[in-house]
Homo-oligomer: A and B are copies of this chain.
Amino acid sequence: MNGLNMSIRLRRTPYTNRVEKLGVSGFSIVNHMLLPKAFKSSVEEDYWHLREHVQIWDVSCQRQVEIEGPDAQKLVQLMTPRNIARASIGDCLYIPLIDENAGLINDPVLLKLSKDKFWLSIADSDVLLYAKGLAIGSKFDVKISEPDVYPLAVQGPKAENLLSEIFGSHVKEIKFFKFGWIDINGSKQVIARSGYSRQGGFEIYLKGKDYANFLWDVIWDVGQSYQIAPGCPNLIERIEGGLFSYGNEMTLANNPFEIGFEKFCDLDGPTQYIGKSKLQEIRANGVQKIIRGFVFGKTPCPSCSEPWPVFVDGKVVGNITSAIWSPRLKANVAQGMVDKDYWDIGQNVKIKVQDGTEMIGMIKDFPL
């Protein structure tokens, strides 16, 4: 294992003390902030646990970009090909952001807090700076900031019962990708039925770091009877579930079609946004590659920290971007890009993993 050299720049979260007490042993960095990625148990143990019980995840690194003011909706719409005109207060919307070349800038979840106030709950790129640049250049009347908000995820099939025991049964009424409100120590806080797993659960958008210890502790204490464990986005689970990661599966070099985001793109409607004509041009010329799932190999692959070539008949036809051994499938699972002539489900492939080993596999539909 490689070490992470700490500094203030790699920002701690209000929950870092808690995850340290619980034996966190590895982090990633997202939005200049610590994301716990390893505890005492293995990724496999965490995987089985997440599918059966409930976990508490410090996902403070999902920073919010707050856009508020008379031009807020106009600015958000400019950044995404998804039509947000009919979004209601209380909605969460997954909105890919693209630049003038239709390259992906981020894939945040949009929370509409009021008519003219939005949060973008972002993946790993400085959307704050992009939004600021756009607003300044366009002379929009908006205020853009990173509020003092620290998301905490509670994921797994027991999350609903746990949180309704703590915060009240109205939590059960919150629908998927909607948010409501709970009382935390006298403060009113956003809670959404969402999260970076396919096992169900919630994300609490805690505003004010002073409430963090209280929130963590009450969930942890009440969670004991639900077999709660500390956790983090689980690589096996997210790969199998077809949840993609900005910076891994997609970058500025990818367009939305390549990631299967066409359903979020208003291509023929009236929505005005940056990159629209480029998107139409790409559609007209035909998409050249697409993201797919893979199942391959009979022994665990090494961890994936650079793209692995995918071969068909000795020819490189794509790249693996995330991969790990699935104990359930007893094979490796992966996500990656494949060129159009080879992207059919069922296509046989050969994958050259990081240590040079070649493994036989197949393109599969999500969930794997």
| Cβ-neighbour of A304 out of B7, B135, B248 (below 8 A) | B7
How many whole Å from A258's CB to the nearest CB in chain B? 16
Q: State whether the Cβ of A274 lies closer than 8 Å to any Cβ in chain B.
A: yes
Q: Which chain B residue lies CB-closest to A30?
A: B9
Q: Which residues of B contact A307 (CB under 8 A)?
A: 8
Q: State whether the Cβ of A217 lies closer than 8 Å to any Cβ in chain B.
A: no
Q: Which residues of B contact A28 (CB under 8 A)?
A: 4-5, 7, 9-10
Q: State whether the Cβ of A321 lies closer than 8 Å to any Cβ in chain B.
A: yes
Q: Which residues of B contact A274 (CB under 8 A)?
A: 136
Q: Given A126-B129, A134-B133, A3–B32 Cβ distance below 8 Å?
A: no
In the bound assembly, the distance between CA atoms of A245 and B132 in angstroms comes to 22
In the bound assembly, the distance between CA atoms of A236 and B323 in angstroms comes to 39
Q: Are A105 and B129 in contact (CB under 8 A)?
A: yes
Q: Are A8 and B133 in contact (CB under 8 A)?
A: no
Q: State whether the Cβ of A203 lies closer than 8 Å to any Cβ in chain B.
A: no
| Cβ-neighbour of A127 out of B27, B129, B321 (below 8 A) | B129
Q: Are B4 and A322 in contact (CB under 8 A)?
A: no
Q: State whether the Cβ of A237 lies closer than 8 Å to any Cβ in chain B.
A: no
Q: Are A8 and B305 in contact (CB under 8 A)?
A: yes
Looking at A8, A136, A245, which has the most chain B CB atoms within 10 Å of its CB? Answer: A8
Looking at A1, A7, A26, A127, which has the most chain B CB atoms within 10 Å of its CB? Answer: A7
| Cβ-neighbour of A99 out of B4, B132, B137, B146 (below 8 A) | B132
In the bound assembly, the distance between CA atoms of A127 and B125 in angstroms comes to 10
Q: Which residues of B contact A7 (CB under 8 A)?
A: 28, 245, 247-248, 303-305, 322
Q: How large is the interface on A (under 10, 10 to 19, 20 to 34, 35 or more residues)?
A: 35 or more
Q: State whether the Cβ of A360 lies closer than 8 Å to any Cβ in chain B.
A: no
Q: State whether the Cβ of A42 lies closer than 8 Å to any Cβ in chain B.
A: no
Looking at A100, A124, A126, which has the most chain B CB atoms within 10 Å of its CB? Answer: A126
Q: Which residues of B contact A305 (CB under 8 A)?
A: 6-8, 10, 12
| Cβ-neighbour of A136 out of B26, B132, B134, B248 (below 8 A) | B134
Encode contact with B along A1-21: 1 for CB under 8 Å, 0 otherwise. 111111111101000000000
Q: State whether the Cβ of A109 lies closer than 8 Å to any Cβ in chain B.
A: no
